[in-house]
Structures are given as C-alpha cells and as structure tokens.
Amino acid sequence: MTGRFNLLDLLVLLLYLGGTTALGMWIGRTQRSTSDYFVADRAIPWWAVMFSIVASETSALTFISIPGLAYTGNLGFLEVVAGYIVGRIVVAYTLLPRYFAGNLVTAYALLETRFGLGTRRFTSIVFMITRAMADAVRVFATAIPVALIIGPVMPKEYTMPAAIVVLGVLTVIYTYRGGMKAVVWTELLQASIYLMGGISAIVLIGQAVDGGWTTILAQAGAAGKLQGIDWYTGFDRPHTMFAGIIGGAFLAMASHGTDQIIVQRLLSSRSLKQAQVAIIGSGFAVFAQMALFLMVGLGLWVVYGGQTFATADQIFPTFIIERMPHGLIGLIVAAIIAATMSTHSGAINALAASSTYDIYLPFTGRSADDPRTLRVSKLFALAWGVALTAGALMFKEQGTPVVVIALSIASFTQGGLLGGFFLGIFWSRAIQRDAILGMSVGISCMAFIVFAKQIVAAYPSMEPTLHGVASIAWPWYVLIGLSITFVTGVLSSFTHPAPAAPRAIQGNRS
C-alpha cells in the first residue's frame, strides 16, 4: 500500500476483522430459539453485560468526535457524562424491576401491558426510525479515518462508500449468524481493543511533547482547557453543570430505559440484581472512558499548537496517519472500527428483535417458539444490516461534530418515548390514545426544535423569529420532549372518563 498505512498495519487490521467475524460466527453456531438469538437465554453475567453496554454506546464517535470536543473546547463534556450516571441509577430502580417482572424481550412490550398493542407498535416503529438514523451516522463516522487510509489507492469519491460497505458486510455476517451471544462476547473483544488504542494514543502523545503530560496539562490549564465545571444556567450551552446533570440524566433515562439496544442487553442478564449492577457500573466505566478520550484531545491540542482543522472530527484521524508508528496505526484503526462494529451489531440485533416481537408476531399470531420465527428473525437482521449500510452511504459530512449529530437525532424521539413511559407509570387516568397523542406531539415539537438550527442556517432572515428555539442546547432535548409529551397526554386524558380499572405498567409472563 502507499501512504503511511503499510503492510504491517494492514495485517493487524485484517487480523482483527477476520478474528472478530470468526469469533462471532463460532459463538453463534448453537442458536436454537428466538430467546437464544435475542436475549442469549438470559444467561449473560453482569460484568459481560456491563462492558457490552459500554461497547454499545461507544462507536467511532468516541474516538473521533470526543477528542475534538476537548481540542476545540475543554473538559465540560464530562458534566453531561456525570448526568448519565444519575439517569442510569434511576432506570435501575424504576424501569428495570418492571421489565424483569416478566419474560420480556423488547422494551415496548411493557407499554402494551399498560396501554395496549397499538402503543407497543407505535413506540417500536419510532425506535426503529431513530436507531436507523443514528446508527447510519455512526457508521459514516467510522469511514472517515478508513477513507483517509485507503485514499492513496483509489479515487477519492469511492473511498467512503468502500469503507462503509466493508464495515457493514462484516458486521452483518456475524450478527446474522450469532445473535445476542455473538454481539455481547465480540463486544468484549472490541472493547479491549479500543481501550488499548486509547491508552496507546495517550502514551504516544506524551512522548511527542517535551516534558510529556506534565507539559500538556500545564499548557492546557493555562489556556483554561481543564475546566470541567460551568455554572451557567442558560439553555443555550450544552456543557454546563446545569445542562449536564439534569439534561444528561434524562437523556440516560431515555437511552438506557426505553431504547431497545440497551434494554435488550439488560434483559440478557441472569437476574434483576445483576442487571442493576451492570447498568450502574456502566455509567462509571463510560465516565472514565470519556475522560480518557478527552485527554487525547487535550494532548493533540498541544501537539498541533492549536492548529485549525477543516472539522474537529479530522483531528485525531490526522494524528493517527501522520504521527503513529506502523503496527500501532493498524491497531488504532482496528480500535476505531471495533468501536463502531460493536454498536452496529447491537443495533442490527435490537432492530430485528423489535421487528420480530413488536410487529411480526402480533401481526401473524405465531409463537416465538415456532421454528419459522427464528428464520424470520435472521432475515430481519439481514434486512436491517443492509438498510443501515445504505443509510450511511447517503449521509454527508458537515462542520457539526458527528457526536452532536448522532445525539441530537436520538434526542428528538427519545424524549417522546420516555414521556410515554412516564404517562404509564405516573398518570393512571391516561389511556392508549392519550399516550400516542402525547408522544406524537412531543416528537413533532422536538423535530421542529432540532431542525430549527438548519432552518436558520438556510434562511438567515428567520433568525430573529427562531433564535430562542434554535439556540437550545442538545442536552435539553429529551427533557423538553418528555415534558411536552407528558403534559399533552395529561390534558388529553380529561377528554374522556377515567378508566374504571387502570392497568399497571409491568411485565407480563404470558
């Protein structure tokens, strides 16, 4: 190969890709039922579930965008991550006991017990759309450094599509065959690889600066880049203590309490207690991980002397290609790919589970134990793998950090979904039509708020009118969506008589 990516790097990368695919296929050789395929027969130990959760929310975004946040700013993102811990604790003691009250496979089956099948289908479809959009962004992000590597050997217009297709195909292969067992255990391998990559980057950056990390921290501190707490109380800054703890907590409640990709892992645990330990432990692990990659960004700021890049997402990939020794380049690129493949495989499996249990089985009336159901489940996994790859191919690079784009996509629907769960738990008067109306209004309002920034960018004359809306920072999206959904549902509930015997929101063993 030409460029700085040589034969040794290629061998390291191919070893990872081949090893991960082979491991996933080997683990999945004994699939016998849909329960085995989607929740691993509920036999995964807590520590494996914990690292699987961490891996599932770690993608190329962590490697690419998080260092860029520190490079262009400071450590303020940790305020949001601290809020994630608070949100996970709430989920552990409110939603998880309800999930484990029955043998549920999807998060949205819980809403059927409270409101009805229509609510289950509605929330499942919303999840599918959101997850497909967000995961397409994550796959696209992974292609950025891969495209830089293969750029010298093919026309530029083909580098991104080629990288996306290869990643998509390899992930689909082992996810299609192995199901949740393959997802969880390959994620442990992938997590170890990307953590090795992050630690290697820290060591190498320290060696690239005279005085090492002592110098880096001194210069970063003098420039105010070590600031981790901002007491600003407005709604237009994303990385403040106010937005981080409150907004981050509600974001975590939604992502870890109502998003099938996380809930499915928790339902694979051996018991409720183990699931609670796994989700809370994952919060602290993610905090440490985010701190690691923010430190990478601080180090790169010193290495490059604050040099301006076209986008913040190009900073770390550029360092990898220009400064890292051979072999380690291959390891870091493998780590970036590993991070996204773990998220991608989990998304495919979760989307297939929701398609099977929330849409297909209720529609056909078939049993989950029917041998045909397992075959259909695998076809859903294959179809979603193709769809996510196609979505990534359609995404366009832009100046906004990819991590912000992905989190914003999730936020404009997750608030509505969480609001539906809150209605079921805290407002006994609400019935199915109240929940669906509330979520529809909440999601619609959030779509307007999220896209207000794009409207202002395209039509500057609208800025005075939309300034208040367009300036809202993304950590607040879930809380706003939740509030709109809940209030709408409550008001709607007064348009009909109160139900004589409100159903509780809890698991159903049927």
Confidence of residue 183 (pLDDT cuts 50, 70, 90): confident
- Check if CATH label 1.10.3720.10 holds for domain 7-397: no
Number of H helices, E strands in the chain: 21, 0
For 40-54, 148-162, 247-261, 362-376, which range has the lowest pLDDT when averaged over its residues?
A: 148-162
Which pLDDT score, from 0 to 100, does residue 304 have? 92
* pLDDT (average), residues 390-407: 64
For 14-28, 185-199, 314-328, 330-344, which range has the lowest pLDDT when averaged over its residues?
A: 330-344
Confidence of residue 2 (pLDDT cuts 50, 70, 90): very low
Taking the CA atoms of 276, 278, 279 and 283 in sequence, report the sign of the dihedral they define.
positive
Residue 146 pLDDT greater than 80, yes or no: no
For 192-196, 223-227, 326-330, 395-399, which range has the lowest pLDDT when averaged over its residues?
A: 395-399
Residue 364, C-beta contacts closer than 8 angstroms, at least 6 positions apart: none
Residue 56, C-beta contacts closer than 8 angstroms, at least 6 positions apart: 187, 261, 262, 265, 342, 343, 346
Q: Report the mean per-residue pLDDT for the chain.
A: 86
Taking only the tens place, the pLDDT of each residue in 218-251 is 999 999 999 888 888 888 888 889 989 999 999 9
Residue 202 vs residue 368, higher pLDDT: 202
Task: Quote the CA–CA distance of 201 and 140 in Å, as a whole number.
Answer: 22
CB atoms closer than 10 angstroms to residue 128 = 19
Look up the pTM and report it. Answer: 0.87
Task: Quote the CA–CA distance of 121 and 489 in Å, as a whole number.
Answer: 18
Which residues are paired to 44 by β-bridges?
269
Say whether 307 sits in a helix, a strand or coil: coil
Burial of 288 (0-12, 13-18, 19+ CB in 10 A): exposed
Which pLDDT score, from 0 to 100, does residue 411 have? 66
Taking only the tens place, the pLDDT of each residue in 164-177 is 888 888 888 888 88
For 73-82, 126-135, 145-154, which range has the lowest pLDDT when averaged over its residues?
A: 145-154
Candidates 483, 357, 510, 506; CA nearest to 424 is 506
For 11-15, 26-30, 233-237, which range has the lowest pLDDT when averaged over its residues?
A: 26-30
Which pLDDT score, from 0 to 100, does residue 257 have? 94
